Structures are given as structure tokens and as C-alpha cells.
A and B are shown apart, each in its own frame.
Chain A
Amino acid sequence: MSEDQNNQHDQNSETPAGLKSLRSVKLQASPYLASRVLANLELPREDRRSQASLFSFLRSRFAAMTVGLAVVAVLAYQWGSHPKVQNEAQYKVGSPYMVKVDIRELKDTDIAYAEVVLDGQNIQFSSKAFADVNETKKLMISWDQLLTKQYLPVVVKGNKEGEAKVTVYFYDRNNKIVQEKQMALSFKDKAI
């Protein structure tokens, strides 16, 4: 037996039984992993974001999101399927709002992931648990995490008066945009 084979033999003969049983546990990552990685690689370096802090915020904290908000104001707007600005709504500066993007019509489509983009200097994402989310203007969300949801929740906050837009792009496995939804928001200093 070669030295490597000897080593491998030694390793296996002393492996505790419980650990041996774990060798057969089937675990698989998302089938869209390669697409997500390639899509992120194609972004400019400054726009690439670690998923561990951002995805976790949206994917594993759905239930906790409303608890974390200072203002619980849930807006269920039906977003249009065209990239036109619709339903401009007014919000108070400094207060976080959850905007729900209706994704029911997209359930049977071949979407791999969504990207939420904030357009405007006066708007930001809002998260108490993940402060770095507040500094970014783009968030990517894996579609397989949204399959059982009717809405994609986006929590935003205006930091000064003015207009802003929130656009959600839906990508297929080939990283092509298959759907786009946009909403205009107007932030005012005083309560509406």
C-alpha cells in the first residue's frame, strides 16, 4: 500500500460511527447558484455584495422584519408590469416602510433571481439587524426563497425630501431580464 493509501486506511478505520453515517446525508445548494455567481461577477467590483449579510436579511428574517421596524406601515400596492412609474405614494422622511411587490403573476415563469434597485440619493434600504444593507442601492434575492410567497417585501426609508424610485428586475437562468416592476415614492418631511 502507498503512503497515501495507508493514511486513507487509517483515517477510515478510526472514524466514529456517527460521523460515518453523515457521509450519506444529501445536501444540495440552489440549482441557480452558478447563475447567481456569474451574475455577480459581471457586476462592477464596487457593486458586488456579500450574500451572507444581505440575503440572510431578506431570506431568513421575513417573520422578524415587521417586529424590527420602528413604523409598521405595510403598503400592498399592485405594481404594474410595465416599467412605468405608477402609484406614486407619499411617505414621511426618516420612517422605514415595507413595500410589498406583488409576485403572484410570476409564479409560473422561469425566474432565477430578482434584483431590487433604489434610484435616488434620498432613499435607502432599512435594516436594524444588518447595517451594511443601508449603504447599498442594490439587493439580489434568490427566487427559490420566494416560491411560497405572494409578495416580495422591500423595506426602505427616505433620508430627505424628494422623489425616488424602487425598481425590481426579475432575471432568468441566463441572466436576462424577463420582467420589471417599478414604483415611485415621494418623501416629505411632515406626516402625510
Chain B
Amino acid sequence: MSEKLDWNKIIPLVLKGDRSATTELIEITQESLFVFCFHLSKNKQLAEDLTHDTYLKALTCLHQLKEPGAFMGWLKAIARSLYLDYIKSAAQSRTHVPLDEALDLQGPSRLTAEQLSALEVLQTLSEEDRTILILIDIQEVSYSEASQVLAIPEGTVKSRLARAREKFSKKYNGTN
């Protein structure tokens, strides 16, 4: 999760073109955004590209952000939108990339069996189910932020979450 930032202070600075404020904004939020992009795209390389493109778009359109405090939800909504555009146009999006190759993890940061199983099951779910589980169950964002990312009411977030959890659990428990 991103560190606490004073959004009302940093966003106006970034809008004015303050380079160190922009760098700080990226460095503090990039982990959360990258994790989101990774779980969404199922591929580390693509996640890096999506993260980069998301910042590029967000910083170019930052004047459209109505509420500075909603920056993270807005950023992830952009990331999701770019991902959806990407999978529509890129043929290789249908390629299944082996998890070890996608993650490129070595040594002590290698995944546990439980984590690998969970990731494999997550990969099989639809983008809609995967996104809601990533946001709420992995990244622990609020219903409000998830509602912003997915552009759906909070009530719909809750009902979709329940269905996505059920689908995940059925598959996960079936493999463990």
C-alpha cells in the first residue's frame, strides 16, 4: 500500500510541473499500482509497461482529477482501462505465460505453494472477477475506491465481490 501522502498538497505541485513532487508521487504510489497491474495482466513485463503508460496518461490528464484524495482509485481506473485496450489489440494477450516466467522471481522471494496455487486460480478468472478480488482481497482497498476503479456503485461492488470470492474458492479448494 502507498505511504500516507498529503494529496491536497502534492497534486497541485505536480500540476504546476514540480519535478521532485512528480518523482515523489510516482515513487510512493508505484508499488501499489505495479502490484495491481501485475495481478491484472498476469505478466511482470506487461505490468511494467502498463504501470509506465498509466503514469504517463495520468500525469498528462491530471487536471481532470476532481478530488486529489481520489488519486489512487483514479490511477487504477486508468490502468484497468489501458489494460482492457491492450488486450483488445494485442494478439499475444491470449498466450498463457508460465507463472515462474511471468514473475521472474529468484531466491528468497520465490512463492510458497499456497501463493502459487492462488495465483494460478486467479489467472483463470475473468478480468472482472480478477480485478475486484485484486482490489479488495489482495490490496485491501475500500469499497469506495473499488467502486471508483470499476465505475460501479458500492452495492454492486459488494455483490460482485461475493460472486467472485465464491468462484475463486470453488476452484482454489478444488486444487488444494
Contacts and interface: CB of A to CB of B under 8 A. Distances in A.
A37 B109 contact: no
A33 B48 contact: yes
Contact of B118 (A21, A28, A33, A51): A21
A7 B142 contact: yes
Chain B's interface size range is: 35 or more
Interface residues of A, number: 41
B115 interface: yes
Contacts of A36: 52
Interface string B71-114: 00000000000100010011110000000000100000101101
Given A34-B30, A38-B23, A52 B140 contact: no
Contacts of A14: 165
B119 A29 contact: no
Nearest to B176: A18
B56 A29 contact: no
Interface stretch (A54-62, A84-92, A98-106, A183-191): A54-62
A69 B54 CA distance: 31
B31 A29 contact: yes
Interface string A29-55: 110011011101100010010111101
A28 B34 contact: yes
A41 B60 CA distance: 8
By DSSP majority rule, is chain B's interface helix, strand, loop, or mixed?
A: helix
Nearest to B118: A18
B137 A15 contact: yes
A17 B169 CA distance: 9
Contacts of B30: 29, 33-34
A138 B91 CA distance: 23
Choose among A15, A16, A129 the residue with the greatest number of B CB atoms under 10 Å from its CB.
A16
| The 7 residue pairs across chains A and B that have the minimum distance between CB atoms | A18-B118, A19-B137, A29-B34, A51-B49, A52-B49, A34-B26, A15-B137
Interface of A: 4, 7-8, 11-12, 14-30, 33-34, 36-38, 40-41, 45, 48, 50-53, 55-56, 59-60, 129, 142
Given A19-B137, A30-B48, A37-B52, 5 more contacts: A8-B142, A11-B137, A18-B168, A22-B39, A29-B31
